[in-house]
Structure 1
Amino acid sequence: MEVQFTNAWQKMIEKLQSWLDSLVVNIPNIIIAIIVFIVALVAAKYIRKLALRLLERTKLQHSMKNLISKIVSMIVVLMGLFLILGILDLGKALNTILAGAGVVGLAVGLALQGALANTYAGIVLSYIKHIKFGDWIETSDFEGEVINIDLRAVTLKQPDNNLVYIPNKLVVESPIKNFSTTAQSRVILECGVGYESDLRAVRELVVQTISSSFEAVSNKEDVIFLYKEFGDNSINFETRFWINSTSAIEVARAKTKAIIEIKEAFDKNGINIPFPIRTLHFPEKVSVSTDS
C-alpha cells in the first residue's frame, strides 16, 4: 500500500514539475499574450470612438450608429483573442472552442427567438426613415413622441408624460401613423345646429370664426365646411382646417380652441346647438287616479 501511494505521489510530483517547466518556458509567450490583450482592448475603445465619429457624418439613426461601433470594437477584441491563442500555441483549443460555439449558438438561438426577432426589428427601424427621434407617432394602440429606439424596444413619451416601451417586432408588424411627416396637421370638428337655423348664415359664421382664430388659415377658402346629415335633433355639419403643427397634442388644443370660439359665436348670434330631447304624446282623454 505504501509503495502504491509513493508511486502515485511521485507521478503527481513529476506531472506538476512538467507543468511548471512548461509554464517557465512559456512565460515570454504569456507576457506577450497579456500585452496583446491589453492592446486589443485599448484599440477597440479608440476604434469604437473613431467609428462613431465617422458614422456621425451619415444619416443613420443614433441607435444604429452605436450598434455598428460596438460590432467594430467586438471584431477588434476577437481578432486579439485569436492572435493570443496563436501565440500560446492553442490552435487545437481554438478548433474545439469554435465547434462548441456552433452548438451553443444554435441552442441559444432557439431559446431566444423572441429577443432575436426584436433585435432584427430594431436594426430595421434604425435604417428606415419613417420613424426617427422626436417624431409623434401612433402604433399598436399607443401614441406619443419617439424618444429612443434601441435593439429591444421603441420608447414613446405619451401626452401624460408616461413612457411606453413597445417591442420592436410589434412596431415593424403594425401600422404606423406618423404625425411628423408633414409640416401641418388637419383639424376635423363636428357639430350640429337646430332645424330653425339659417344654414347659409351658420356656414358663413363658422368659416369666418375659424379663419380669424388660426394663423395657418390665411383665407376663408382654407376652411372646408360640409353639412353631413339631417340628424334626429339637429342638422349636423363638419368643418376642416389646417394648423402649423405635427403634434397630436397641438391638434387637440386647436380643436378645443375652435369649439370655444364657435360656441361663443353661436351664442352671440342666437344660433342653437340642440341636445337630444324626448317628446311624450298623451291621449286626449287621460284618467288620473287619486286613490292612494
Structure 2
Amino acid sequence: MQDFNIQDSLSGITDKLGGWLDSLILGLPNFLLAVIVFVAFTFIAKYVGQLFERVTRNQIKQDSIRLMTVKVIKAIVVLIGFFIALGLLNLDKVLTSVLAGAGVVGLAIGLALQGTLNNTFSGLILSFLPELQIGDWVETNGYAGTVTEINLRNIVIKQSDNNYVVIPNSKIIEEPFKNFTRTARSRVFVNCGVGYESDLEMVRDLTLQVIKDLFPQRGNEEVEFMYNEFGDSSINFTVRFWTDVTKNRDILVAQNEAIIAIKKAYDGKGVNIPFPIRTINFSNKLGINKSEG
C-alpha cells in the first residue's frame, strides 16, 4: 500500500513536470519574442534619448533639465517595451495588475508631491520657453537680476547687489515677468523741470538736440519731448528716447548720461532748473507789540 502511494506521488510529479515542460516548449517562441522585443526597446530608448538630446541642445541650455528629460523619455520607452513583452507572454492578468498598481501608486505619489510635480512640469515648460533663458536680466515676483540657473524645481536670479534669489518654477509660470534681454533696444525716460521764466520752445529744441546727439536714433525711432505739468516751482517735462538696453543698469547709465548732458546745455544757455521754494510770511496780523492807540 505504501509502495502504491509512492508510485502515485511520483507519477503525479512526473505528469506535473511533463505539463510544465510542454507549456515551456509551447511558450518558448513567445518567450524568446518577448525577450527580443524588450531588448529592442532598450536599444530604441537609448537612441531616442540621444536624438532628443541633440535636437534640444540649443533649446534647453540647462544641462540638468536636459539630462533629466532624456532619462524620463528613456524610462517611458523601456516601460512600453515591458508592457508589450508581458502581452506577448499572455500574462494579461499580470499586466492588468501591474497597470492597476501603477495607477494607485502614481495617484498617491501625485497627491504627496503635488507642489514638487507642479514645479517640475513648470521647469520643463520654462526649458522650452524662448522668453526666458540663462543670462537674461528679468524682473519677476518683486525681484530683478540675471538668470543664472534653471532647473526642475526653481530658477536662480543673481541680483545687482550680488545676492541670489531662488524662485519656484510655478511662480514664474503663474506670475508675469519682464525680460530686458529679449529686446536689444528700449525706451528710456528722463524727467526734469525749468523755471516759469524760461523760453519753453527754446528749451524743447535744445533738449531734443542734446539727446539726439548723445543717443542716435535708428529707423523709425525718435526722441520725444512733452511738457506735462505746471509744478510748484517749475514747468515739468518728460523726454524719452531709444538706446541699447539689455539690463536695468543700462537704463541707469543712459539716464545718468542724459541728465549730465542736459544740465551742461542748460548752464550754457542760462536755463534755470529751479528747486522747490517755500515762502514764509512774517506779517504781524495778531497786532503783537503794536502800540496801543
By the TM > 0.5 criterion, same fold? Answer: yes
- Name the residue aligned to 2:120: 119
Counterparts of 1:101-112 in structure 2, within 5 Å, are: 101-112=102-113
Q: Deviations over 1:199-258 (max 9, x none)?
A: 1221122112212222x3369x82111100101111000000000222221111111111
Deviating more after overlay: 189-198 vs 45-54: 45-54
- Tell me if structure 2 keeps the 8 A contact 1:152–1:168: yes
Deviating more after overlay: 110-119 vs 46-55: 46-55
- Name the residue aligned to 1:146: 147
Counterparts of 1:10-29 in structure 2, within 5 Å, are: none
CA distance in 2, matches of 1:256, 1:272: 19
Counterparts of 1:1-292 in structure 2, within 5 Å, are: 48-56=49-57, 60-63=59-62, 65-75=66-76, 78=79, 99-214=100-215, 216-217=216-217, 222-283=222-283, 287=288
Cα distance, 1:84 vs structure 2: 11
The size of the alignment, in residue pairs, is 256
Question: SS at 2:147's partner residue?
Answer: strand
Q: Deviations over 1:59-116 (max 9, x none)?
A: 6323464343122332466578779999xxx998877665444333222211211111
Deviating more after overlay: 123-132 vs 272-281: 123-132
- Tell me if structure 2 keeps the 8 A contact 1:180–1:246: yes
Q: Structure 1 length normalisation: TM-score?
A: 0.70
- Can you give the 5+ residue segments of structure 1 that lack an aligned partner in the other structure? 1-36
Sequence identity of aligned pairs in percent?
49
CA distance in 2, matches of 1:95, 1:117: 29
Q: Structure 2 length normalisation: TM-score?
A: 0.70
Question: SS at 2:59's partner residue?
Answer: coil
Question: SS at 1:62's partner residue?
Answer: coil
**Cα gap change, 1:279 to 1:156, in 2 (>3 Å):** same
- Tell me if structure 1 keeps the 8 A contact 2:61–2:133: no
Q: Deviations over 1:117-175 (max 9, x none)?
A: 11222222223332223332222122222333222112222222322221111111112
CA distance in 1, matches of 2:69, 2:108: 25
Q: Deviations over 1:41-70 (max 9, x none)?
A: 9997776445412433xx632346434312
- Tell me if structure 2 keeps the 8 A contact 1:52–1:69: yes
CA distance in 2, matches of 1:288, 1:252: 56
- Can you give the 5+ residue segments of structure 2 that lack an aligned partner in the other structure? 1-37
Q: Which amino acid aligns with 2:61?
A: H
CA distance in 2, matches of 1:237, 1:127: 43
- Tell me if structure 2 keeps the 8 A contact 1:211–1:218: no
CA distance in 1, matches of 2:204, 2:162: 38
**Cα gap change, 1:284 to 1:150, in 2 (>3 Å):** same
Cα distance, 1:268 vs structure 2: 2.7
